[in-house]
Chains A and B, each alone.
Chain A
Amino acid sequence: MKFLLIEDDQKTATYIETALREHGHAVDLASDGDRGLILCTTGSYDLAIIDRRLPGIDGLSIVKAVRAANIQIPIMFLTTVAGVDDRVEGLDAGGDDYIVKPFHFSELLARANALLRRPPITGEPTILRVGDLEMDLVQRRVTRGGCVIDLMPKEFDLLGYLVRNTDHIVTRKMLLEHVWGFHFNPRTSIVETHMSRLRAKVDKPFDRPLIHTVPRAGYSLHA
């Protein structure tokens, strides 16, 4: 995959660039807004990671300009501008995700992957399958190997998010945001609690586990 990174802080830029290359991605770096906007509108990239505070044109304006030019590249903000209002502003401007610094690279990578495989808004299937697990999104029914699994509403949402991101890592933060709509860090281990209940229902009665813990990163569901 080819990434565009618009970031003026040299340390952060090098850190991300190196890590992305290690994961086999190509990276173009722009260290100011003007150059970033030119690259973003003329080059062909799979994903753009954009800082909000930049010399020259700011990140928010870049995203607005790119969207105004009808360029459908997935865009991720990576910024220190951290308020809920700022996040809303970023997403309204046309960003697809919003990561607040400081961040873990694993978080950035997981979210980037989630964006790269985001299905087109229309054709999402109503039945999802992973191995012998089947989720009917309309009837909100889950079966594994033909056996019906009875899930609580939040457990269903949690499993749904994992299944949509099959084979990829989802972080605790991603789960908090997408499953619970929490944009803050709770003091208790709500993700772990719900995950362990979900596993007790989805994995425990069966031979092979589907949900895997990825140390220091999050969770991953794969057959």
Chain B
Amino acid sequence: MHKVNFKNSAIVRVATLYSGLFAVGLIILLAALLWLVTENVWIQNREDIEQDSRTLANVLKNDGEATLVSSIRILTKNVERKRAIYVLQSSTQELIAGSAIRFEPFEGWRKLTVTFAADNKANYVVFGQRLGDSYLFVGRRTRNVWTAQRIILVAFLWALCLVIPLTIWGGIALARNAFRRIGTFDSVARAFVAGDFTQRVPITKRHDELDHLAGSINQVLQQIEKLLTSLKQVTNDVAHDLRTPLGHLQQRLADARDNEARGVSNISLLDETQEDIEGIIGTFDALLQIAALDAKTWSTKLTEIDLAEVGQAIFETYENVADDNGRKLTIRKDGAPLISGEIYLVKQLLVNLVENAIVHTPAGSTIGIDILTSGGHPTLIVSDDGPGIPAKDREHVLERFVRLEASRTTPGSGLGLTTVKAIASLHGATLTLSDNNPGLMVKIRFPVSDDVHP
């Protein structure tokens, strides 16, 4: 895997493309603006000319030629820098009033270059009309159009000079930022591949799509870490805890060989060996099941389970078993709390708890199954009045293979409660161990299931 550098970064490409597009957009905007302004100035000029021409024609009509002449003189005097021209000339092209320019007589609109002196020319748009024997020409210099265009162009060039570097700088900054954040993903992934399974992608407070992606990736990493840890745990457990019984097996085989040599029957030895092997297989199955439960997501269909029904079935099965073992099993049901889950597993959970209680209490103890709903939570409690578990050991006993000193001599793989815990957490239930004064109380609190009730 090669590292992505700035040159072939997708983000830089996008940022560059964006700057380019922005510049093109700006140019189109300029063209439109120029066209609009030019058009507008033209229209304005024409309107001004039309208005002046109309007014002057009216002056002639209402007040006579003398007033027209004086009006034109006043207008011509007030006009700055030949911005506008007014010419009243006779049919023989003699100037009657206005600017000292001679026009070939015409009517309507013309665009003309007027020569004031050899080195003094200017462009005008001129409207000519015939008033009696004379001609009136009103014109506006077209320089104001060009002036407007120039102002816009200059402003625009300034804007372009400022904006283009700004967009490039912004693009680079954006690219750098995204590059850095994507880089964190990259480095986390690399560290993960290299074996550091605790690495997670940092999440900012921006709650943007990258944070969203980071969240999803972290969940994936979390799940992978969980699976790997579980796998590692199983491997370790198998390596450590199957060694002892396998050692016993080896010992027995050596004994069997000795017996054979001495002509002693091996039947009882073989029976014991058979039991040993079954014990090993049992431990093995339990380990695999716990690993599978830890890694499991609901692939099978969930069913609606009535806890009271399961409790009753297990009670009916174990009442006599407890009795034969000198313990008393009782059941108390309050309602029929419904959970969604897998019936095999829920049965196994309750069986493990009841069997644990039978095995770890002295004869004469009472074991109770309680099924109830507490604060909306379907709850399952198995309690006994035996020796209990000291507070400091309670969390500890949920781990694999933990068997307290006091129970070293009782049968079992030490995986019962671990299996219970795995089944409980798969069902989203919490498992708590507490003091029953005296004895142990194991409480399984299932999540409130709204969808279960009709």
Pick the residue among A82, A190, A193 that contacts B285 (CB under 8 A).
Answer: A82
A83 proximal to B (CB < 8 A): yes
User: Please, which residue of chain A has its CB at the minimum distance from the CB of B354?
Assistant: A188
The 0/1 profile, CB within 8 Å of A marked 1, for residues 80-92 of chain B is: 0000000000000
- C-alpha spacing A102/B282, complex, angstroms: 11
What are the residues of chain B within 8 A of A153 when measuring CB–CB? 316
- C-alpha spacing A31/B344, complex, angstroms: 34
B215 proximal to A (CB < 8 A): no
A187 proximal to B (CB < 8 A): yes
B288 proximal to A (CB < 8 A): yes
What are the residues of chain A within 8 A of B358 when measuring CB–CB? 188
Are B320 and A194 touching (Cβ within 8 A)? yes
| CB proximity of B213 to chain A, nearest CB, Å | 32
What are the residues of chain B within 8 A of A189 when measuring CB–CB? 321, 324
Stretch at the interface among A48-56, A129-137, A175-183: A175-183
B281 proximal to A (CB < 8 A): yes
Residue in B288, B300, B321, B347 whose Cβ sees the most chain A Cβ within 10 Å: B321
A184 proximal to B (CB < 8 A): yes
Given contacts A153-B316, A193-B324, A83 and B347 within 8 Å (CB-CB): no
- C-alpha spacing A197/B324, complex, angstroms: 10
What are the residues of chain B within 8 A of A180 when measuring CB–CB? 317
Interface hits, B289-322 → A, CB 8 Å: 289, 292, 299-300, 316-318, 320-321
Interface hits, A78-109 → B, CB 8 Å: 82-85, 88, 102
What are the residues of chain B within 8 A of A185 when measuring CB–CB? 282, 285
What are the residues of chain A within 8 A of B34 when measuring CB–CB? none
Pick the residue among A88, A187, A190 that contacts B359 (CB under 8 A).
Answer: A187
Given contacts A82-B288, A83-B292, A88-B300, A188 and B321 within 8 Å (CB-CB): yes
A21 proximal to B (CB < 8 A): no
A186 proximal to B (CB < 8 A): yes
What are the residues of chain A within 8 A of B355 when measuring CB–CB? 186-188
B416 proximal to A (CB < 8 A): yes
Are B321 and A190 touching (Cβ within 8 A)? yes
- C-alpha spacing A16/B300, complex, angstroms: 33
A19 proximal to B (CB < 8 A): no
User: Please, which residue of chain B has its CB at the minimum distance from the CB of A189?
Assistant: B321
A154 proximal to B (CB < 8 A): yes
Are A187 and B317 touching (Cβ within 8 A)? no
- C-alpha spacing A154/B285, complex, angstroms: 27
B411 proximal to A (CB < 8 A): yes
Is the interface on chain B under 10, 10 to 19, 20 to 34, or 35 or more residues? 20 to 34
Interface hits, B335-392 → A, CB 8 Å: 342-345, 347-348, 351, 355, 358-359
Are B320 and A182 touching (Cβ within 8 A)? no
| CB proximity of A173 to chain B, nearest CB, Å | 11
B55 proximal to A (CB < 8 A): no
User: Please, which residue of chain A has its CB at the minimum distance from the CB of B281?
Assistant: A102
Pick the residue among A85, A154, A190 that contacts B299 (CB under 8 A).
Answer: A85
State the majority secondary structure of interface residues on A. loop
Given contacts A181-B343, A182-B348, A197 and B320 within 8 Å (CB-CB): yes
A127 proximal to B (CB < 8 A): no
Are B317 and A194 touching (Cβ within 8 A)? yes
| CB proximity of B424 to chain A, nearest CB, Å | 16
- C-alpha spacing A35/B360, complex, angstroms: 53
What are the residues of chain A within 8 A of B411 when measuring CB–CB? 187
What are the residues of chain B within 8 A of A194 when measuring CB–CB? 317, 320
What are the residues of chain A within 8 A of B285 when measuring CB–CB? 82, 184-185
- C-alpha spacing A182/B316, complex, angstroms: 14
What are the residues of chain A within 8 A of B316 when measuring CB–CB? 152-154
- C-alpha spacing A88/B297, complex, angstroms: 16
B412 proximal to A (CB < 8 A): yes
Are A187 and B416 touching (Cβ within 8 A)? yes
- C-alpha spacing A196/B325, complex, angstroms: 14
| CB proximity of A218 to chain B, nearest CB, Å | 15
Are A190 and B318 touching (Cβ within 8 A)? yes
Pick the residue among B281, B289, B321, B343 that contacts A193 (CB under 8 A).
Answer: B321
Interface hits, B115-134 → A, CB 8 Å: none
| CB proximity of B311 to chain A, nearest CB, Å | 14
What are the residues of chain A within 8 A of B325 when measuring CB–CB? 188
| CB proximity of A138 to chain B, nearest CB, Å | 21
What are the residues of chain A within 8 A of B288 when measuring CB–CB? 82-83
- C-alpha spacing A82/B289, complex, angstroms: 9
User: Please, which residue of chain A has its CB at the minimum distance from the CB of B342?
Assistant: A84
Residue in B317, B320, B342, B351 whose Cβ sees the most chain A Cβ within 10 Å: B317
- C-alpha spacing A221/B325, complex, angstroms: 27
What are the residues of chain A within 8 A of B348 when measuring CB–CB? 182, 184
Are B344 and A181 touching (Cβ within 8 A)? yes
List the 8 closest pairs (A to B, CB-CB), nearest first.
A193-B321, A187-B355, A193-B320, A188-B321, A193-B324, A190-B321, A188-B355, A184-B348
Sample 5 A-B pairs with CB under 8 A, ordered by A number.
Answer: A182-B344, A188-B318, A190-B318, A190-B321, A197-B320
Q: A83-B288, A180-B317, A194-B317 are in contact. List 4 more A-B contacts (CB 8 A).
A: A83-B292, A181-B344, A182-B344, A190-B321
